[in-house]
């Protein structure tokens, strides 16, 4: 074999890359600093009231992202695969919530004054909606794993990813064919009507903290704490962590690996379902495509925080929500471009710190 | 033993019952029924076919259920297979009966659930009861599935009879022998002759067909051709060098927009002409490939997939945004793109474009083939198999990965330029993520890394849906299911690539020269 490549060329190539990355980083950093300086200090476009509004929006959406991101991180931590269909699991939960509210709305409690079940017992209705939504999503996540991923566990890594993409397309279109492509308005119980909330006066203008937003944020924090307790304190959590570390050894220690993986999918599905119902309650629109963009954003959040790392996913979610709402304003760019910002951050994080903000440095095999 | 029989058949029955329910709720039975009606040349009004075709659909499903239940039986006992088929069919039938009872209730009370479940119109539900009175309809739903399940069991049982088996074996042997003969004729000493005949026939077909079969077929086959070019380009990246890129259509968009911006009157009125714009589009796409690749060379597998997906979305959102409206026409896209000229003559009829696309496909195939069997191609294969080992053996992985990205992107730029020019339009929504996934799927379905697979995949995923218009609504659904099923059962694709093998010469006396690494495909 006289064709073998001499080593020096290889070294030259990697050296080019060695200088390129820092240069690129410095350029990006300088650009961001320049934009921040010109927008925040020179132009001073927005007052404190606008910033508060953006902060609130960011926190709310960030909570939802965090819930979905946890699902990605849990699954990635155990199987080293991106559950591409996770966003669709969330979409199914959102539909379930919508149908529950519709069903409860159609139950008349009294005719004079006209009162339906969902307004008469708002707390119970919301609990039912979340219970159904989480169950539906958990079951669909469970089935997804069983049908589309489990037989591929030993296959090369491209194969389950493509299977996941296929499942994602399938679920989206199944929902479109079943429920029609139209956008559905979710009718909340009266106490959670959209657009009303506490008002605080900042800078002479009213800033509304919407009830739905507070509810969403509080519930997502509660669920995240619950999950953290499950993973840290219970037997199931211990099994999950063991399987994530080393499947073979875990099996030798008497852990049922298949069952643990199934349970992981159940939990991540349930969280995605909760996120879906919240999405319906807060944003008010449910359609077959609703899970896709939040799914990708949540994956970004999981990567941002360090994939496989639970607190990382939570922080990453909140952080991404904040960047998305405040970033365009801070950098002085159009709000249409907030998705561009999110994806650009994904690319930057993976370029400069693939292990994320909190993640440990992964070996190249895992990345 | 009997317990496994019962539980396995029950499981098959329940699975098929649920599948039946799902297909019913998305209106698949009506669609398939209409297809049957078309084949039988029965005119129908509206989208709901005559009951007989719905019965046929149910029967087919039942036979399939019975067959898959009976197939699981290991013992070659006639009765057991029948019983399995019957159980599966009965269970599926029971589920179907329950569903039809619900339909019957809805129909008799004239409740229209279409607000929530899109296809369930009253007519549709009546048709699902085979337009019979309620009780008979429910009974028929049960009976057809159960009977068909039994028939499926019977079929399986019969086919395992030794005589049938023998006949089948003989037939299969005959076919196989024939194929072998053909293969023998086309290889070996007659190889060249057959190759020449084949090529002549192919060339004649390529030359004459576009003028004969009309603009519709030119459009359909032209689209397939564009996707063949795209598929080959993506094959360079995914199939050969093993980098999963999900935002591939962004490069296509770059080619298309270069063509559009330089040749349309609307935003800039530059009118460079087709060829310079095509060339520039190819170069720009390749450049974008390198630009994207440079910071991402450290990433592998899933991460690379998601980042390139993000890149594709960034390009699409930018094209669509207000920021770029004055430059790229925003969400409206760019219209009236001028067609190509050759020696000053306009070259823009559908036949001309067909030739252009065929030319593009041939060039791409040639370049792809040369690259694949070159030193570069071997370097890519080594990177795909194991990047660390490749680097350790002295392959400059960064260089070769960038090269793959750039070349693959250049293919996409070419396809994009031709596509935009042919359609005389390009807009941001043509370049959505779904298009990227389409291209990826076509090379996976066809078989990754080889040309026949790519062509087959392009026909299957782009040509068939155009031809089967009835399937339009179900296309993407089938597509997603196909991807999953494909990965589960045949991850290497319809036409799998053969791996390069080292051929050791039979004669040990012959010297070193006969040893060669051959790439058979």
Contact A177 B26 (CB under 8 A): yes
A162 vs B contacts (CB less than 8 Å) = 440-441, 444, 483, 487
pLDDT at A16 (0 to 100): 63
How far apart, in whole angstroms, are the C-alpha atoms of residue B68 and residue B88? 9
Question: To the nearest whole angstrom, how far is the Cα of A57 from the nearest Cα of chain B?
Answer: 22
Per residue, the 3-state secondary structure of B34-94, as one string, reads HHHHHHCCCCCCCCCCCHHHHHHHHHHHHHHHHHHHHHCCCCCCHHHHHHHHHHHHHHHHH
Contact B477 A177 (CB under 8 A): yes
For the record, the structure tokens of B254 come out as 């770059």
pLDDT at A11 (0 to 100): 46
Q: Which of A163, A180, A351 sits opposite B296 (nearest CB)?
A: A351
Q: Which of A160, A167, A337 sits opposite B317 (nearest CB)?
A: A337
Contact A367 B300 (CB under 8 A): yes
B395 vs A contacts (CB less than 8 Å) = 5, 10
Residue whose C-alpha is closest to residue B289's, from B366, B236, B359: B236
B295 vs A contacts (CB less than 8 Å) = 20-21, 24, 347, 351
A80 vs B contacts (CB less than 8 Å) = 302
pTM: 0.84
pLDDT at B507 (0 to 100): 59
Q: Which of B321, B396, B476 sits opposite A10 (nearest CB)?
A: B396
Neighbours of A248 (CB within 10 A): 9
Contact B296 A5 (CB under 8 A): no
Average pLDDT by stretches of 10, chain B with 521 residues: 77 87 84 79 71 83 84 75 84 86 83 78 79 81 84 79 74 80 65 78 79 80 90 90 86 89 77 83 92 78 79 84 75 77 74 86 91 89 86 87 92 91 80 82 82 87 73 78 85 73 61 47 44
Q: Token pair 């139209």 is at which residue?
A: A182
Q: Which of B295, B318, B399 sits opposite A340 (nearest CB)?
A: B318
Q: Return the residue in A139, A347, A362, A365 with the most chain B beta carbons within 10 A, the one to mutate for interface testing.
A: A347
Q: Return the residue in A77, A170, A302, A366 with the most chain B beta carbons within 10 A, the one to mutate for interface testing.
A: A170
Bridge partners (DSSP) of residue B345 are B342
ipTM surpasses cut 0.85? no
Per residue, the 3-state secondary structure of chain A, as one string, reads CCCCCCHHHHHHHHHHHHHHHHHHHHHHHHHHHHHHHHHHHHHCCCCHHHHHHHHHHHHHHHHHHHHHHHHHHHHHHHHCCCCCCHHHHHHHHHHHHHHHHHHHHHCEEECCCCEEHHHHCHHHHHHHHHHHHHHHHHHHHHHHHHHHHHHHCCCCCHHHHHHHHHHHHHHHHHHHHHHCCCCEECCCCHHHCCCCEEEEEECCEEEEEEHHHHHHHHHHHHHHHHHHHHHHHCHHHHHHHHHHHCHHHHHHCCCCHHHHHHHHHHHHHHHHHHHHHHHHHHHCEECCCCCHHHHHHHHHHHHHHCCCCHHHHHHHHHHHHHHHHHHHHHHCCCHHHHHHHHHHHHHHHHHHCCCCCCCCCCCCCCC
Q: Which of A4, A334, A354 sits opposite B321 (nearest CB)?
A: A334
For the record, the structure tokens of B215 come out as 């603009």
Closest residue in B to A170 (Cα–Cα) = B480
Contact A166 B484 (CB under 8 A): yes
| Contact between B378 and B390 (Cβ < 8 Å) | no
Question: To the nearest whole angstrom, how far is the Cα of A235 from the nearest Cα of chain B?
Answer: 30
A160 vs B contacts (CB less than 8 Å) = 487
CA distances from B197 to A330, B194, B202, B208 (A): 68, 5, 8, 16
Q: Return the residue in A346, A349, A362 with the most chain B beta carbons within 10 A, the one to mutate for interface testing.
A: A346
B486 vs A contacts (CB less than 8 Å) = 166
A3 vs B contacts (CB less than 8 Å) = 375
B309 vs A contacts (CB less than 8 Å) = 296
Which option is the CATH number for A45-352: 1.10.3430, 1.10.3470, 1.10.760, 1.10.238? Answer: 1.10.3470
Question: To the nearest whole angstrom, how far is the Cα of A154 from the nearest Cα of chain B?
Answer: 12
Residue whose C-alpha is closest to residue B438's, from A86, A165, A172: A165
Contact A166 B482 (CB under 8 A): yes
Average pLDDT by stretches of 10, chain A with 367 residues: 41 60 81 82 76 88 90 86 89 92 82 76 87 94 91 82 87 88 82 79 80 88 90 89 87 90 92 92 87 86 82 88 86 79 82 71 44
Q: Which of A170, A177, A299 sits opposite B481 (nearest CB)?
A: A170
A340 vs B contacts (CB less than 8 Å) = 313-314, 317-318, 321
Closest residue in A to B312 (Cα–Cα) = A343
B26 vs A contacts (CB less than 8 Å) = 174, 177-178
Q: Return the residue in A77, A173, A300, A353 with the most chain B beta carbons within 10 A, the one to mutate for interface testing.
A: A173
Closest residue in A to B391 (Cα–Cα) = A10
Contact A170 B309 (CB under 8 A): no
Neighbours of A30 (CB within 10 A): 10
A171 vs B contacts (CB less than 8 Å) = 480
Q: Which of A20, A180, A296 sits opposite B118 (nearest CB)?
A: A180
B484 vs A contacts (CB less than 8 Å) = 147-148, 163, 166-167, 170
Q: Which of A3, A17, A167 sits opposite B297 (nearest CB)?
A: A17
Q: CA neighbours within 13 Å on the CB side: how many for B465?
A: 16
- Region of B28 on the Ramachandran plot (φ > 0 left; ψ -120 to 50 alpha; else beta): alpha
Contact A343 B440 (CB under 8 A): no
A296 vs B contacts (CB less than 8 Å) = 306, 309-310, 313
Question: To the nearest whole angstrom, how far is the Cα of A63 from the nearest Cα of chain B?
Answer: 22
| Contact between B119 and B27 (Cβ < 8 Å) | yes
Q: Which of A16, A161, A354 sits opposite B299 (nearest CB)?
A: A354
How far apart, in whole angstroms, are the C-alpha atoms of residue B410 and residue B283? 7
At what angle are helices B397-423 and B350-372 packed, to 10 degrees? Answer: 170
Question: To the nearest whole angstrom, how far is the Cα of B383 from the nearest Cα of chain A?
Answer: 14
Can you tell me whether residue B335 is helix, strand or coil?
strand
Closest residue in B to A6 (Cα–Cα) = B394
pLDDT at A88 (0 to 100): 92
Question: How many residues comprise chain B?
Answer: 521
| Total CB pairs under 8 A between chain A and B | 185
What Rg do the C-alpha atoms of chain B give, in angstroms? Answer: 28
pLDDT at A363 (0 to 100): 42
A175 vs B contacts (CB less than 8 Å) = none
pLDDT at B409 (0 to 100): 93
Q: Which of B118, B396, B480 sits opposite A169 (nearest CB)?
A: B480
């Amino acid at each position: 074999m006289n064709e073998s490549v001499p080593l020096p060329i290889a070294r030259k190539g990697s050296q080019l890359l060695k200088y390129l990355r820092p240069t690129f980083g410095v350029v990006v950093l300088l650009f961001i600093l320049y934009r921040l300086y010109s927008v925040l200090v020179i132009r001073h476009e927005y007052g404190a009231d606008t910033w508060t509004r953006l902060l609130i929006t960011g926190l709310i959406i960030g909570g939802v992202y965090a819930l979905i991101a946890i699902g990605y991180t849990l699954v990635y931590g155990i199987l080293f695969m991106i559950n591409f269909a996770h966003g669709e699991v969330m979409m199914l939960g959102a539909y379930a919530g919508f149908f529950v509210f519709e069903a409860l709305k159609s139950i008349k409690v009294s005719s004079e004054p006209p009162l339906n079940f969902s307004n008469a017992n708002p707390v119970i209705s919301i609990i039912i909606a979340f219970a159904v939504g989480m169950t539906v999503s958990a079951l669909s996540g469970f089935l997804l794993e069983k049908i589309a991923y489990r037989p591929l566990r030993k296959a090369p890594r491209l194969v389950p990813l493509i299977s996941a993409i296929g499942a994602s397309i399938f679920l989206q279109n199944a929902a479109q064919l079943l429920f029609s492509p139209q956008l559905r308005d979710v009718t909340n119980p009266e106490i959670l009507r959209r657009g009303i909330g506490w008002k605080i006066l900042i800078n002479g203008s009213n800033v509304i903290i919407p009830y739905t937003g507070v509810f969403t944020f509080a519930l997502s924090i509660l669920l995240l704490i619950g999950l953290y307790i499950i993973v840290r304190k219970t037997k199931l959590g211990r099994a999950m962590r063991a399987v994530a570390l080393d499947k073979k050894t875990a099996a030798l220690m008497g852990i049922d690996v298949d069952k643990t993986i199934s349970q992981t999918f159940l939990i991540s599905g349930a969280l995605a379902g909760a996120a879906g119902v919240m999405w319906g309650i807060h944003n008010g629109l449910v359609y077959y495509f609703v899970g896709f963009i939040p799914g990708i954003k949540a994956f970004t959040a999981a990567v941002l925080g360090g994939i496989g790392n639970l607190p990382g996913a939570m922080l990453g979610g909140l952080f991404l929500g904040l960047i998305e709402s405040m970033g365009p304003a801070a950098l002085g760019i159009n709000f249409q471009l907030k998705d561009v910002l999110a994806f650009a951050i994904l690319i930057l994080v993976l370029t400069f710190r693939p292990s994320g903000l909190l993640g440990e440095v992964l070996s190249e095999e895992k990345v | 033993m009997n317990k496994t029989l019962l539980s396995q058949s029950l499981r098959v029955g329940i699975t098929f019952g649920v599948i039946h329910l799902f297909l019913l709720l998305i209106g698949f039975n009506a669609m398939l029924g209409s297809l049957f009606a078309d084949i039988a040349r029965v005119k129908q009004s509206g989208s709901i076919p005559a009951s007989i075709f719905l019965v046929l659909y149910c029967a087919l499903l039942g036979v399939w259920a019975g067959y898959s239940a009976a197939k699981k039986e290991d013992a070659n006992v006639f009765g057991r297979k029948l019983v399995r088929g019957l159980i599966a069919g009965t269970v599926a039938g029971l589920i179907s009966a329950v569903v039809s009872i619900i339909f019957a209730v809805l129909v008799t009370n004239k409740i229209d659930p279409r607000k929530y479940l899109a296809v369930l119109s009253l007519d549709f539900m009546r048709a699902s009861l085979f337009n019979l009175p309620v009780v008979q309809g429910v009974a028929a739903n049960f009976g057809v599935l159960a009977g068909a399940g039994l028939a499926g069991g019977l079929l399986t049982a019969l086919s395992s009879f030794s005589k049938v088996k023998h006949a089948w074996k003989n037939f299969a042997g005959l076919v196989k022998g024939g194929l072998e003969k053909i293969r023998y004729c086309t290889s070996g000493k007659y190889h060249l002759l057959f190759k020449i005949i084949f090529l002549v026939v192919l060339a004649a077909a390529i030359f004459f067909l576009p003028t004969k079969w009309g603009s519709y077929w030119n459009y359909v086959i032209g689209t397939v051709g564009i996707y063949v070019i795209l598929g080959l380009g993506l094959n360079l990246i995914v199939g050969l060098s093993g980098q999963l890129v999900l935002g591939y259509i962004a490069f296509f968009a770059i080619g298309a927009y270069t063509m559009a911006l330089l040749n349309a009157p609307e935003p800039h009125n530059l009118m460079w002409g087709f060829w310079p714009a095509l060339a520039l589009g190819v170069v720009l796409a390749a450049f974008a490939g390198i630009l994207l690749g440079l910071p991402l060379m450290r990433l592998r597998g899933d991460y690379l997939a998601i980042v390139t997906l993000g890149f594709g979305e960034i390009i699409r959102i930018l094209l669509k945004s207000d920021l770029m409206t004055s430059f790229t026409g925003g969400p409206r896209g760019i219209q009236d793109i001028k067609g190509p000229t050759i020696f000053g003559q306009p070259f823009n009829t559908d036949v001309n474009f067909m030739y252009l696309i065929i030319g593009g496909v041939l060039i791409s195939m040639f370049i792809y083939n040369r690259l694949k069997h070159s030193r570069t191609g071997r370097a890519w294969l080594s990177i795909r198999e194991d990047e660390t080992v490749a680097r350790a053996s002295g392959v400059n992985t960064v260089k070769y990965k960038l090269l793959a990205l750039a070349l693959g992107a250049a293919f996409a730029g070419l396809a994009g330029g031709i596509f935009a020019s042919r359609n005389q339009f390009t807009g941001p929504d043509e370049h959505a993520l779904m298009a990227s996934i389409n291209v990826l799927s076509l090379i996976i379905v066809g078989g990754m890394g080889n040309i026949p697979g790519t062509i087959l995949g392009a026909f299957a995923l782009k040509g068939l849906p155009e031809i089967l218009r009835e399937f339009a609504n179900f296309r993407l659904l089938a597509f997603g299911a196909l991807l999953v099923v494909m990965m589960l059962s045949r991850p290497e694709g319809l036409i799998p690539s053969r791996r390069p093998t080292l051929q050791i010469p039979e004669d040990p006396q012959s010297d070193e020269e006969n040893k060669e690494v051959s790439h058979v495909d």
